[in-house]
Chain A
Amino acid sequence: MAELSMNKVVKRYGATQVVHGVDLDIKDGEFCVFVGPSGCGKSTLLRMIAGLEETSEGRMTIGPKDVTHFDPAERGVAMVFQTYALYPHMTVRENMSFGLKISGEDKTVIKEKVDKAGQILKLADYMDRKPKALSGGQRQRVAIGRAIVRQPDVFLFDEPLSNLDAELRVEMRVEIARLHKQLGATMIYVTHDQVEAMTMADKIVVLRAGRIEQVGAPVELYENPDNLFVAGFIGSPRMNFFDGEVIELGFHQVMVTVPRLGNVVVPVAVQSELRLGQPVTLGLRPEHFDPKGDVKVTLPIDVHENLGGVSYVYSNSDEADLPIIVELRGQRPPVGSDLEIGLNPEFALLFDPQSEERIR
C-alpha cells in the first residue's frame, strides 16, 4: 500500500502534447477516479502511472520510490484492462498464477494466494476453465484476481466496466467498492461514466484536454464546482446554464436578471465584488426547480420524460441551443402546456462567461 504523487507530469507524442503538467496527490488507501470526456487524457495518465507510456517530463512517486522512469513491473502496480486482457490459452488458475510463476514464487505460496483470491472473487468453481467459457462478469473478476494476487501498492482500473451490460455493471461496481474496503488498497479508476465516479470515488479528478479541472470529493464537485466545465460535466441530467446580467448590488448578494426565464430577477449570494451591468452565467441544477420556490417562472413543455419516481421536462427556446431541464416529482403536466414552477435561488451558482471560472 502506498500513496502516489505526480509533480508537473507531461506527456508528449512528438510535437503533440496530450498531458499538460499534471500535479496530483493520491493518499494511501484512497479510491481515486479520473473522469472526463473522450480524449481528455485520463487513460494516458493512467498508463503513465502503469509505466506503459513513457513520462516525457515531471516526476512521479509511489510510496518512497521515484518511479518516473521505472519499468512497469518494478512500480508495484497492477492494472485491470477494459478488454480484461486475459491470456486466452490459460485457465483461470493459470491466468492468476502467471505473474507469480515468472517471478519465481514458490508453488505452494502461489496456490495459496490464487485460492484466496479465487475465494474473495467467488471464482473457486471456475478455476480450471478457460476465459472463453466464462461470462463477461466472471472474466472481469479473473482480471481483478490477477491484480490481487500480486499484492500491488496501487491498483489501476482502465474503464473496467464499459464492456458489461447495465445490470452487471451495477453489480461489479458494488463488488469493486467492497473489494476496496476489504483490501484497503490505493486504487485509481478511469471512467467516463460519472455515475461510477460519483458512487465509488473518495476523490474525483475531472480532466479536460490533458489538464486537471478540479479535484475533490464527489459531493464537493457536485455542490461546489470550480468552473463551468465541472458544473456541466458532473451531474446527470446536466446543470442548466442561463445568460444573465447583474442589475443590483447588495451586501454579499447580487440581483441577476435572466432573459431566458422571462427576465425574472434571481438573488444570488456572492462574496466577490461585481459591478452593475456585468454579464454572468447562472447555473441551476434540474432538481433545484421547486413548485414552492421563491422565484416563479413559466416554461413551455416540449418533452416530458417519465422515469417513474421522477420525471424530467425539457423546454426549448429559439435563442438557446440546449433545452432547460426541470426535475419534477409527482407532477405529470401534459406536453404542449406551460409549466408554472418556482426555483430555489440559494442553489444558483454564478460563473464568469469569459473565463468560465466560478464567481464565489
Chain B
Amino acid sequence: MRRRNSLYIFTIPALLVLALFFIHPVLLTLDMSFTSYKGIGEAKDVGWRNYDRIFSRERYYSEIWLTLWYTVIVVTALTILGLFFAAMLHRLPLIRNFARAALYTPAMMSFVVVGYVWQFLYSPLNGGINVALRDLGLGALEQNWLGDPALAIYSVAFTQIWMFTGFTCAIFLAGFAGIPEEINEAGRLEGANSWQRFRYLELPLLGPAITVSVTLTTIGTLRTFELPFILTKGGPDGATRLLSIEIIDNLFGQYKFGFASALSIIMLIIVLTVAFVQNKILRDREDVS
C-alpha cells in the first residue's frame, strides 16, 4: 500500500505547476467575477449581479449563439477540408511532404499578419478579392466582404478555415499513416474503388484522428479572438461580436474587470461542456466502429 501511495509523489511537480498557473488564475477570475472591480481601486463585492446581467439580456445570448454558430461552421469546414486534402495527399506520395508543408504554412504565421493580409484582400474598393473578380469579368460578384453584416461572420470564418486547414490535414495524414497499407491492398483486390476504400475502410479507421482534430479545433475556435478582432473588431453592427471580443472589450475597452471575469467563467464552462460532450460522443463512436 505504501509503495502505491508513494507513486503519487511523482505527480507533485506537475500538480504544482497546474495549480499555480491554471487553477489559481481560474479561482482568481471566479472570485473577481463576483465584484465590480475596475482595474484600480477597491474590488466591491456585488454578489451574482454580473451573472444576472449576462442572463437577463438578449445581447449576451445572441453572442453565445454566434460563437457556437461560428464554431460549427469553422470546425465542420476544417474537418471536411482537412480530410479531403489528407485523402488526396495520401494517394499522391510524391508531392505529399511538400504539399503538407505548404498547407501548414498559414498555421505557422502570426494571427496579426494573417489578419492584416486578409483585411487587405477583403477591403471593398481596392482589395485583392474584389480586384481579382473585376479583372476576371465577375464584377457582379463583388462584395463588401467585411462591411456587410450578413456576410462578415463568414468572411472571418473563411480566413480562420484558410489558416487551419493545413493543421487538420496534418492530423489526418498522421491518421492515414497509421492505417496499414495491406488494408488498402486487400480492399483493392476485392474490387473497392478509391472512394469506396475511403468511405468503408479509411474513414472508420480514422476515428481517433477525427476525435483529436475535432476536439482541438473546437476548443481553439470557441476561444478565438485574434482574427475577428483584427478584421472587424466585432462589427459591423455586432455581426462578428463573438464572446471573446465581448470579453476583451469589457476588459480593456471599458475596464469592467469584474464583468469580463464573469463572461470568462461562462466561456470556460461552455468550452469545457462542449469539449466533454463532444469527446464522449466521438469516443463512443470510435468504439462502435
- Are B189 and A87 in touch, CB under 8 angstroms? no
Residues 117-139 of A, flagged 1 when their CB comes within 8 A of B and 0 if not, give: 00000000000000000000000
* Contact residue among B188, B205, B207 (Cβ-Cβ distance under 8 Å from A72): B188
- Are A102 and B190 in touch, CB under 8 angstroms? yes
- Are B182 and A83 in touch, CB under 8 angstroms? yes
Residues 129-154 of A, flagged 1 when their CB comes within 8 A of B and 0 if not, give: 00000000000000000100010000
* Contact residue among B185, B188, B205 (Cβ-Cβ distance under 8 Å from A88): B205
Does A219 sit at the interface, judged by CB under 8 A?
A: no
Does A195 sit at the interface, judged by CB under 8 A?
A: no
Does A98 sit at the interface, judged by CB under 8 A?
A: yes
User: Which residues in B have their C-beta under 8 angstroms from that of A87?
Assistant: 183, 186, 201
- Are B189 and A73 in touch, CB under 8 angstroms? yes
Q: Which of B176-212 contact A (CB under 8 A)?
A: 180, 182-183, 185-192, 196, 200-201, 204-205, 207
User: Which residues in B have their C-beta under 8 angstroms from that of A216?
Assistant: none
Q: Which of A50-90 contact B (CB under 8 A)?
A: 50-52, 71-73, 77-79, 81, 83, 85, 87-89
- Are B185 and A85 in touch, CB under 8 angstroms? yes
Does B289 sit at the interface, judged by CB under 8 A?
A: yes
User: Which residues in A have their C-beta under 8 angstroms from that of B180?
Assistant: 83, 85
The CA-CA distance from A103 to B200 in the complex, in Å, is 13
- Are B205 and A89 in touch, CB under 8 angstroms? yes
* Contact residue among A81, A89, A102, A103 (Cβ-Cβ distance under 8 Å from B182): A81
User: Which residues in A have their C-beta under 8 angstroms from that of B182?
Assistant: 81, 83, 85
Does A21 sit at the interface, judged by CB under 8 A?
A: no
User: Which residues in A have their C-beta under 8 angstroms from that of B189?
Assistant: 50-52, 72-73, 77-79, 99
Residue among B185, B188, B190 with most chain A CB within 10 A: B190
The CA-CA distance from A24 to B187 in the complex, in Å, is 28
The CA-CA distance from A87 to B204 in the complex, in Å, is 10
User: Which residues in B have their C-beta under 8 angstroms from that of A73?
Assistant: 188-192
* Contact residue among B186, B191, B196, B289 (Cβ-Cβ distance under 8 Å from A85): B186
Residues 96-108 of A, flagged 1 when their CB comes within 8 A of B and 0 if not, give: 0011001100000
The CA-CA distance from A85 to B188 in the complex, in Å, is 12
The CA-CA distance from A335 to B245 in the complex, in Å, is 88
Shortest Cβ distance from residue A99 to the other chain B in the assembled complex, whole angstroms? 3
Shortest Cβ distance from residue A22 to the other chain B in the assembled complex, whole angstroms? 21
Shortest Cβ distance from residue A210 to the other chain B in the assembled complex, whole angstroms? 21
User: Which residues in A have their C-beta under 8 angstroms from that of B196?
Assistant: 102
- Are B191 and A102 in touch, CB under 8 angstroms? yes
Q: Which of B127-171 contact A (CB under 8 A)?
A: none
User: Which residues in B have their C-beta under 8 angstroms from that of A77?
Assistant: 189
- Are B191 and A81 in touch, CB under 8 angstroms? no
Q: Which of A11-49 contact B (CB under 8 A)?
A: none
Top 4 A-B pairs, shortest CB-CB distance? A99-B190, A73-B191, A85-B182, A85-B186
Beyond A71-B188, A99-B190, 4 extra complex contacts between A and B, CB < 8 Å: A73-B188, A85-B183, A87-B186, A98-B192
Q: Could you list which residues of chain B lie within 8 angstroms of chain A, going by C-beta atoms?
A: 180, 182-183, 185-192, 196, 200-201, 204-205, 207, 289
30 contacts between A and B (CB under 8 A): A50-B185, A51-B189, A52-B189, A71-B188, A72-B185, A72-B188, A72-B189, A73-B188, A73-B189, A73-B191, A79-B186, A81-B182, A81-B186, A83-B180, A85-B182, A85-B183, A85-B186, A87-B183, A87-B186, A87-B201, A89-B205, A89-B207, A98-B192, A99-B189, A99-B190, A99-B191, A102-B190, A102-B192, A102-B196, A146-B190
